[in-house]
Amino acid sequence: MTLEKRECEAPYHVEGCSGYGETIDHHTPRCIARKILHWKKKQIDAPENIQYLSKACHREKDRTTCERFRLAKKVLTAEVTQEEYLEAIK
């Protein structure tokens, strides 16, 4: 699938970012959306949950997915606050 040329939508760009959104990414990772939030496919793939990232920025974001998953479970069990979660994934 070829994406139209768009800017990378990462909130911050990592070294190696081309500046272009070469890949499609979910703001809320699919594993969190499915297993923790119990979202349906339509919610997971909704336009507001999609962003376009460069390959480098996408790799960096994916590097945090396991930690985000662990923290999201804690948020739902009130072990950490949403603010603590957002601070930890920066």
Q: Residue 53: pLDDT above 90?
A: yes
User: Each residue of 76-88: pLDDT tens digit?
Assistant: 777 767 777 777 7
User: Each residue of 20-35: pLDDT tens digit?
Assistant: 999 999 999 999 999 9
Place of tokens 């974001």: 61
Tokens of 23: 């890949």
Q: Residue 90: pLDDT above 60?
A: yes
pTM exceeding the 0.85 threshold for the entire prediction: no
